[in-house]
Amino acid sequence: MFAAAMLAVIAALVLVVVRVIKGPTVFDRVLAGNSVGTLAIILVAVLGFLNGRPEFLDVALTYGVLNLIGTLAILKFFRHGDLAYDEQEDEA
């Protein structure tokens, strides 16, 4: 059963990578990049159970945190054109 799940995850990865490469707009790419991170989390988790080492779940959690940081940085940059954006500066 885990092997089937693994195959499904890899198939989803292929589809998402196609979207990252083809994606006409930036948002397609950002969303697809985020999905790759999510699928990597699932892949690591499934792999852990497939090999009988559920400790891999910790690594999957770390991936989740990193995925959030990367996506947030990209979106913030796209919105403001700057990473060190500060709302109070705008009001002043």
Q: Which is nearer to another protein, 1 or 79 (CB)?
A: 79
Residues 6+ apart with CB under 8 A from 42: 9, 60
Q: How far is the CB of 13 from another protein (least distance, A)?
A: 6
Residues in the site for another protein, rule: CB under 8 A? Answer: 10, 13-14, 17, 20-21, 23, 26, 29-30, 32-33, 36-37, 40, 43-44, 47, 56, 59, 62-63, 66-67, 69-70, 73-74, 77-78, 81-83, 89
Give, in order, the Cα–Cα distances in Å from 32 to each of 5, 49, 88, 90: 20, 26, 32, 31
Q: How far is the CB of 1 from another protein (least distance, A)?
A: 19
Are 51 and 25 within 8 A, CB to CB?
no
